[in-house]
Amino acid sequence: MIRNMLQSFGLAVQNIRSNLFHTFLSVLGIVIGVAALVATFSLIDGLEKFGREQISANTSVNSLVVSTQTEKKINGLSVRKDSFEIIDFDRFTAFRNSKPEVVKANLDNSYNREISVAGMDSSIGAMIMCVGEVSWSDTIISAGNNFGKDAFVQKEKVAVINTHLAKLIGGKDNPNSALGKTLGVLGRELTIIGIAKDKREEAPPIACMPISLLTREELLRSPPKMTLEVAKTEEMPKLKEEVQSWIANEYGERKGDFQTFSQDFWIGKANQGFMIFRIIMGLIIGISVVVGGVGVMNVLLISVNERTAEIGLRKAVGAKRGDIRRLFLAESITVSAFGSLLGLIFGAGFAMAAIPIVRLFADVPFNAVLTWNTFLIICTVAVIIGVIFGTYPAVKAARLDPVDALRHE
């Protein structure tokens, strides 16, 4: 069986080589369709990789977030709950200290408020960020000091501000003069102990303060979220289970007030979106591949008419219907594979050529990605096209009467 199939493919290759230009024209539709598929999938895979890198660069995939659900659905509408539970600083500290595998943690919320500065007549609008632990992101202190380890437990009335706010307080020429000044924030007087560099140029004025200073009523107005990070990704499932168990034990019937999710949740959602986009584009572009398959079938039907005498001769010397079917199916698959290979080359080339154009209009480190999945998809497409569009010509050739075929001129 295998020997017969190999012989069929060998004969198919000989027929293609003897009519190479004619074969190329017949598979031009497949070439264009497959090239479009390869280019599209390569660019989408590159976009997916870029998206994953951006998510990983801004948030850790090893972090777990617990937030309070302040709304519920009633008659299809989202309404605020009359009451709900929150994670306060004491509970956060107790849980954090019981989990040595947690390498970084935070309890934070934020407010956009008007603040006052001692010695200044005008007020300033700023974002107030309340944190439960020394900032563990990419904060760089340019002047003064960051929060001490005891600032949160001892509820010290201190603040760390960013450069933007420091310039509004001390002036653009001397922002460090803001150190030591007193801020009026959320009804409290806080002393500025440090200035942090802005993480981005368009950053708003920001003042950070210990979340332990807030009352329960203030936390209820803006429920904080708890963020936990472990060193290894494989530790995440265990941490999720322990956090959910802790919430159930700590809050009992009100455990439903909390939602737990990790950053891999957002990566999963992004991957799902890319997959949907990939399927839709594949279906749209697949139309041109189908058109190319119709072209292959048309060429094979013409080939059957041109080679009727040959088919009759093969049957006369003992070839069976199955042999004739295998011959034309092999030729159909070979032709489709030939067109798919050309399409793969042209598609990859087009994707590479598109990268400078993308970077010209969007200044991002974007690259096309040609994966093994794309290669396997193209191979599958080639076989499917060959089988589907080669079956009818193969069956027609196999059904020819040998006597009538030999009489054909």
pLDDT in tens, 303-355: 666 666 666 666 666 677 777 777 777 777 777 777 778 888 888 888 888 88
Count CB-CB contacts under 10 A for residue 378. Answer: 21
The pLDDT assigned to 131 comes to 92
The pLDDT assigned to 102 comes to 87
The pLDDT assigned to 274 comes to 74
The pLDDT assigned to 170 comes to 87
Per-block average pLDDT, block size 10, for the chain (409 residues)?
54 61 68 80 78 62 86 85 92 91 90 88 88 73 88 93 91 89 92 87 88 93 91 81 92 90 69 76 74 72 65 68 74 76 84 79 72 77 75 70 53
Give DSSP secondary structure letters for 163-225: HHHHHHHH-SS-GGGGTT-EEEETTEEEEEEEEE--SSTTPPPEEEEEGGGS-HHHHHHS--E
The pLDDT assigned to 219 comes to 93
The pLDDT assigned to 341 comes to 81
- Domain parsing of the chain, residue ranges: 2-56+268-407, 63-231
Q: Report the C-alpha gap between 49 and 52 in whole angstroms.
A: 5
Can you give the length of the chain in residues? 409
Burial of 154 (0-12, 13-18, 19+ CB in 10 A): exposed
Q: Per the confidence metrics, is the pTM higher than 0.75?
A: no
The pLDDT assigned to 1 comes to 46
The pLDDT assigned to 356 comes to 81
Q: How many CA atoms lie within 13 A of 404 on its CB side?
A: 6
DSSP SS3 for 63: strand
Residue type at position 368:
A
Q: Report the C-alpha gap between 7 and 264 in whole angstroms.
A: 51
The dihedrals phi and psi of 364, each to the nearest 5 degrees, come to: -135, 155
Q: Report the C-alpha gap between 321 and 311 in whole angstroms.
A: 10
The pLDDT assigned to 165 comes to 92
